[in-house]
Amino acid sequence: MKRYFQLAFVILLISGVAACSQSVATTSTLQPTLTEMYHPLTTRTGIQTIDRILDASGDVHTLRSFIQFNSVRCTKLDGLGGPPKCRQDEAEGTLVDVLPFLGPEGNFLRKEEVEDWQGFESAGLFAIYEVSSDAFSDENYPVGQQAILFVGKGTEPAISLRINNGRIVRVDYLFDNSSKSLAAILQREAASLILAPVAR
C-alpha cells in the first residue's frame, strides 16, 4: 500500500511539472520576439546604395566613410539650432564642413572630429522610406532622399540616417523608441516605403 501511494505521488508530481512546462511554453509564445516587432539587421533591400550603408551599420569605421559633410557658414550668435557655431579663431560666416545631428536640439560634428562619432547601437530595422518633399529641411539640416529608421538597442534612442546619393547627410536621434512614435514619423515624412514596418 505504501508503495502504491509513493507511485501515485510520483505520477502526480510528473503531471504537475509537465503542466507547468506547457503553461510556460504557451505564455512565452505569446510574447513578441524582436523579429516579430522589427526587421532583423541582416535585412537588405536590393538597392545597392542603401544596402552598403546597412552592411556598414555595425562597423563605425566603415560607417564613417559614408558620411557626406555639408559645407555651411558658421555663426557667432548664441542660441540653440541654426548654423554651427564659429570657433574663436573663425570669423562670422566662415565655411565649415559638418555632419548635422537632430535630437531635442540641433548639433554638428565637424569633419576633423569625425573619429569622435562612435556610431549607434541598434536592435533592428523599423522601416526605410523615400523622404517626402514636405519633410523638414534647410541648408544646415539637409533632409536627404531616403531615410533608414533603426530601432535603438535597450534604452538607446532610435536613429534615422538621412541618405542622399548613397551618403549619410544627417543623423536624427529619436528618443521615443516606441513603434507608435516611429510610425508617426513615417506618416509625416514618407513619400513611399522601401521597407515597410513589420505587420502586427
Contacts of 137 (CB under 8 A, 6+ apart): 143
Q: What pLDDT sits at residue 155?
A: 86
Q: Which amino acid is it at 86?
A: C
Question: How much of the chain exceeds pLDDT 90, in percent?
Answer: 61
Report pLDDT digits (tens) over 149-161: 999 988 889 999 9
Strand ranges (E), the chain: 70-73, 95-102, 106-110, 122-131, 146-152, 158-164, 167-174, 190-195
- Whole-number mean pLDDT of the chain? 82
pLDDT in tens, 82-96: 899 999 999 999 999
pLDDT, tens only, 31-77: 334 445 899 999 999 999 999 999 999 899 999 999 999 999 999 98
Burial-class residue 188 by CB neighbours within 10 Å (0-12, 13-18, 19+): exposed
Helix runs in 31-167, H state only = 34-37, 48-56, 60-64
- 96 burial type by CB count under 10 A (0-12 exposed, 13-18 middle, 19+ buried): buried
What per-residue confidence (pLDDT) applies to 199? 81
pTM: 0.79
